[in-house]
Structure 1
Amino acid sequence: MSIPPECPKRKEMRKSLRSLERRITGLKPDHQIGIISAEIDQIRFLPLTLNESSNDRPFFFTPLDGSLLLTPDGKYDQEYGMEYDTYDSIPEECRDPMTCARAIELYWSTYISRYSFRVRSSGGEVVWSPVRMHNVYKESDLYRLDYPEFGIHDIEQVTEGPYAHLKTTICNNLNSNDDHVLQGELLPILRLMLAHLRRARFIDHMVVPIMAFSFMGPQHARIIEAYMEGHTVVVRPTKLYDLRNKDAAVFKTFARWYFGKPRAPTGSSQ
């Protein structure tokens, strides 16, 4: 099957996206981008809440029915031999942001794997599958090993159909706050967009919606939805959730959005 040519409008959009990625790369590694100050004109920040009935809900994604998920409470931990490393349980000399972020990610990845292994597709529905990261992305795009480190821990795509949606998990070795996003959050998101747009499967798609589950210090997490609107990248972060003590409701809410479906197709390719 021949691949149709890329339209000029899409070429210009990708060019603009590459320019923004280079601009973010050129910032100091510990620079935090202000949400309110609008310091980068190619980014538009909008609020995001995880309430499905809110006007600020995710635009490109829907949540899974919560009744299909286990609640990671004390009974769950006891039954499955789980233990959550709270902030106070980590030795003081080891409480760097990355160690604390990985404590969240370790519990999170184990929790979501129980649903992934327990549920099997019955056929016909939208199915997510892991991306073989090193077949599609350069390692230097996914990780920064120098301080302040960041790293992508998984990437999920819709297996087939006209859906360019992606989900990913990111860890950063910095603290942040509700008024800023990290360079190590934006760079992976932009690089995933660029790589996905280069794939022949999405040659007629003008948008790659990404939902990033972002973990950072001191032991906090948020979800970011990001997508292109013309030559502008819309970045929608939730508030930061304090996970220095385990919050079963937050983990379950995150999992509902992690396993939810695309809200609508992004292109006409099948």
Structure 2
Amino acid sequence: MDEALVNQRADRRHALARIENLIKETPNMHVESSDLKAAGIRHLPLDLADGKNTQNCPRFFQPFQEELPLPENEEKMLEFEPDLDRIMWETRDMELFLTKHFCKCWIYADQKDPNNPPPSGGYREIGDYKFGQLLECIRFHWYAVSVTDYWAGNRPHFKVMLESDAIGDESKLLRGEIMTITDIMAARLRTKSLRPHIVAPILVVSLMGPRHARVLEADFDGKMLNIRASKLYDFTKKNTDAAQLLTRYWFGGACGQTEMELP
């Protein structure tokens, strides 16, 4: 069993590296469906808000259910129209807004119940992990800005916030989204403390233009990289519900089968 587990983890890392290399060769920020198919990627829908739609609901991540305060200064992002020539300025504003709200909510939850903090969402340094660069800055522009995992340390699940210099398109995935997923997922399958696990689910809060965000949930089943993508959430207008929904998934728990099953 131990040898089979080691081999399975290695095979999956190699497969993820192949997928990433194929996506690197694509010519655009928006990856065409033909390129996804060639790389072995399934682009699937993700429904975060409707718990009744079990077919499209998240498989590995759960929303935080406790009370949260409302965002502050939400109107500040709306003082100016989105600048399509400076999309990364817009994503940076969204990232600062969300990060400040995450921090406020974390303090609120900790003060309300110090013995029961949210299972995820604490600040982590990207450099503490053995990831790749998680960015491109020549020709394509995207980068990972924030990461978090689980306090217990024994969950392969991982969360990342990403900024991309691209206009959102619900019908297409972005190269930065895919490459971030494959890089982090492979690193998690190299982590010794996570050795029992052959599935390393990733949740991505993806920020893009004009001033939009979506959530991706990804897992690799040994054959296909499954990427479920939510609708685009519009922050060109006040969108408190979307901000709270993103926060609940950033703080929420982990679920799903990730360990190698015995024959």
Q: TM-score, normalised by structure 2?
A: 0.86
Once the two structures are superposed, the pairs formed by residues 26-45 of structure 1 within 5 Å of their partners are: 26-28=25-27, 30-35=28-33, 38-45=36-43
User: Aligned-pair distance for 1:160?
Assistant: 2.1
Does 2:127 match 1:134?
A: yes
2:76 match: secondary structure: coil
In the TM superposition, what is the alpha-carbon distance from 1:123 to its structure 2 partner? 5.4
Instruction: Say if 1:44 and 1:265 are closer, same or farther in 2 by CA, change over 3 A.
Output: closer
Q: Distance in 1 between matches of 2:205 and 2:82?
A: 25
What is the CA distance between 1:117 and its match in structure 2? 2.4
The 10-residue stretch of structure 1 (250-259 or 112-121) with the greater mean CA deviation from structure 2: 112-121
For 1:220, the equivalent position in structure 2 comes to 212
Q: 1:31 to 1:83 in 2, by over 3 A?
A: closer
Residue 110 of structure 1 pairs with residue 100 of structure 2: yes
After TM superposition, give the deviation of residue 125 of structure 1 in Å: 7.9
**Residue 124 of structure 1, CA deviation:** 9.3
What SS does the corresponding residue of 1:227 show, helix, strand or coil? strand
Correspondences of 1:235-250 after superposition (within 5 Å): 235-250=227-242
1:97 matched to 2:96? The reply is: no
Q: For 1:154, which of 146, 149, 165 is the aligned residue?
A: 146
CA distance in 2, matches of 1:91, 1:256: 26
- Alpha-carbon RMSD across the aligned residues, in angstroms, is 2.5
Q: Report how far residue 209 of structure 1 moved.
A: 0.7
1:209-230 superposed Cα distances (whole Å, 9 cap, x missing partner):
1110000011111000001111
* 2:38 partner letter: I
Post-superposition offset of 1:263: 2.0
Contact 1:127-1:158 within 8 A present in 2 as well: yes
Shift of 1:162: 3.6
Which of 161, 182, 188 is the equivalent residue of 1:169? Answer: 161
CA distance in 2, matches of 1:127, 1:219: 26
Distance (whole Å) between structure 1 residues aligned to residue 213 and residue 248 of structure 2: 15
Write the deviation string for residues 98-154 of structure 1: whole angstroms up to 9, x where unpaired.
11112211111111110122333515984554433113235x522222243111111
The percentage of counterpart residues that share the same residue type is 23
- Aligned-partner residue type, residue 190 of structure 1: T
The answer for the alignment partner of 2:13 in structure 1 is: 14
1:136 maps to a residue whose letter is Y
Say which SS state the counterpart of residue 153 (structure 1) adopts: strand
Pair 127,248 (structure 1): closer, same or farther in 2 beyond 3 Å: closer
Task: Please give the residue correspondences for 1:177-188 in structure 2 after superposition, counting only pairs within 5 Å.
Answer: 177-188=169-180
> Which structure 1 residue ranges, 5 or more long, are not aligned?
none
d(CA) in 2 for partners of 1:54, 1:173: 32
Aligned AA for 1:89? F
Q: 1:59 to 1:105 in 2, by over 3 A?
A: same
Q: What's the TM-score, normalizing by structure 1? A: 0.84
Distance 1:38 1:136, change over 3 A: closer
Q: How many residues of Structure 1 are paired with residues of Structure 2 in the alignment?
A: 253
